[in-house]
Amino acid sequence: MENDCLFCRIVAGEIPATVVRETETTLAFRDIAPKAPVHVLVIPKEHYADVVTLTEADPGLAGDVLGTAAVVAETEGLVADGFRLIFNTGPYGGQEVFHAHAHVLGGEPLGPMLAR
């Protein structure tokens, strides 16, 4: 656990979250500032700064994150109409919390990928 990492503190139970799914290796919880009707974050319980670091260090755990994201999309009723799965990576990618995480977004048409 990184002492100053928000998501590590959520995993440790120090900060509350609305959990929608938990496995041995992953945690999925609702975003506190949702960008869509459904906005769930899926994280590995172990700390990795971003998805590249996670994938290089533990491809199996990266697969667990994807698997949990797929289950969340299904249980949230997003599969039939579609959803977006996003990994923001680094400052240019818009990453705000430097603990690898996927955003599962859906529940309405999401529009274009980038707004210019």
Residues marked active site are found at 101
Determine how many CB atoms are found less than 10 A away from the CB of residue 35.
Answer: 12
Q: 102 in helix, strand or coil?
A: strand
User: Residue 111: left if φ>0, alpha if ψ -120 to 50, beta else—which one?
Assistant: left
E runs forming strands in the chain = 19-22, 26-30, 38-44, 83-86, 102-106
